[in-house]
Amino acid sequence: MIARRATVFIVDDDPGVCRAMSRLVRGAGYAAREFSSARDFLLAHEPEPPGCVLLDVSMPDLDGLELQQRLLEQGCQRPIVFLTASDDSRNVVRAIKAGAIDYLTKPVEAGVLLAALTEACRVDACGRANWERRNLILGRLALLTPRERQVLEMVLSGFMNKQIAAQLGTVEKTIKVHRSRVMNKLHAGSLLQLVALAQAAGVPVSGTHGSPT
Amino acid sequence: MSTSARPAWSELATLVHKLNQPLAAILTNAQAAQHYLTGSAHAQAELRGILADIVEDNRRAVEIIKEMRQRLRNCALERRDAAALPAEGATPEGDGR
């Protein structure tokens, strides 16, 4: 599978810095988009292209930390690398606590900056892969019949086939058939894989059950 | 007493902040140029742009440094003038304690 080229969204009110950063990241193989203000970025931003944000802190009007908050409010997961000309350590804690990948100061060495961007894009790609996997599993879960769903949930709760059969008023053989169909539909080769799939999709897995009857 | 305003530290801090911008652009441009030194025609166009920006950013930095020097000079002159004036109410022998 060919990975899509990641984009670095550069937000900085200094045009000289913007241009220089754009040249550096394009030279390193990224696509680059430049914005001279946080508002311009918010107006133009689409969450779909993979990549990260290289964000100046001190900008007039909306500053970098405020932009980070706005993105969080929108549910935008795009990783942020901060780049500041100031020496304000209070901002570092705020930025990192709010989930920034890194917080760098100007002037910044190319190696340091590119390492931070690599990490940010890796986190972005990871998050997207998890999201796609989750959607794939949810799609497969939607194909289960109500009975199969019941059996799945009881298996995930740690019940044995015999107990499930007793609970649902049927025989063990029937439960085994349901269970087999569930495993096939979800592409799970083992109970362990089934648990992993369920967790990836956000289906509750308790593993503990009431006392056997 | 001198009436010219003493440069507030916040003004100098602002100038330091401003100075970091062209310096950041110069460093990143130079390092990008090192990468582009592969000789393709597209790279040459990038290099021309990079060098033009480096020259301009150097000028920006020089201007800011001049301004910082001027303010520091004013501050030093003020202090020197203030030190040359006799302190009010002081006696030549001091307290005698």
How far is the C-alpha of B26 from the C-alpha of A110, rounded, in Å?
Answer: 11
Q: Running DSSP on this structure, what letter comes out for residue A186?
A: T
pLDDT at site B87:
64
> For chain A, how many residues are written?
213
Check A20 against B36: CB less than 8 A apart.
no
Sign of the dihedral through C-alpha B42, B47, B52, B56: positive
How far is the C-alpha of B43 from the C-alpha of B40, rounded, in Å?
Answer: 5
Check B24 against A24: CB less than 8 A apart.
no
Provide the β-strand partners of residue A32. Answer: A8
B96 phi-psi bin (left φ>0, alpha ψ -120 to 50, beta other): left
pLDDT at site B96:
47
Check A23 against B24: CB less than 8 A apart.
no
Q: Which residues contact A35 (CB under 8 A, 6 or more apart)?
A: A9, A10, A11, A12, A18, A41, A44
Provide the β-strand partners of residue A55. Answer: A11, A82
Give the nearest partner residue to A19 out of B27, B35, B53, using CB atoms.
B53
- Comparing alpha-carbon positions, the chain B residue that sits nearest to A25 is B32
Across A60-69, A94-103, B74-83, least confident range: B74-83
- Comparing alpha-carbon positions, the chain B residue that sits nearest to A15 is B25
Q: pLDDT tier at B6 (50, 70, 90 boundaries)? A: low
pLDDT at site A50:
96
Query: Which of A19, A82, A104 is best to mutate for the B interface (most B CBs within 10 A)?
Result: A19
pLDDT at site B71:
86
pLDDT at site B39:
66
ipTM of the complex: 0.76
Q: Running DSSP on this structure, what letter comes out for residue A210?
A: P
Q: In the predicted model, is pLDDT for residue A102 greater than 80?
A: yes
Q: pLDDT exceeding 70 applies to what percent of chain A?
A: 95
- Comparing alpha-carbon positions, the chain B residue that sits nearest to A29 is B35
> Cβ contacts (< 8 Å) between A63 and chain B: which residues?
none
The pLDDT tens digits of the residues spanning A159-207 come to 999 999 999 999 999 999 999 999 999 999 999 999 999 998 888 877 6
Which residues from A are below 8 Å from B when comparing CB atoms? 14, 16-17, 19-21, 23-24, 27-28, 58, 83, 85-87, 105-110, 113
Across A37-46, A90-99, A179-188, B1-10, least confident range: B1-10
Provide the β-strand partners of residue A7. Answer: A31, A51
| Chain A touched by B64 (CB under 8 Å) | no
> Cβ contacts (< 8 Å) between B20 and chain A: which residues?
85-86, 105-107
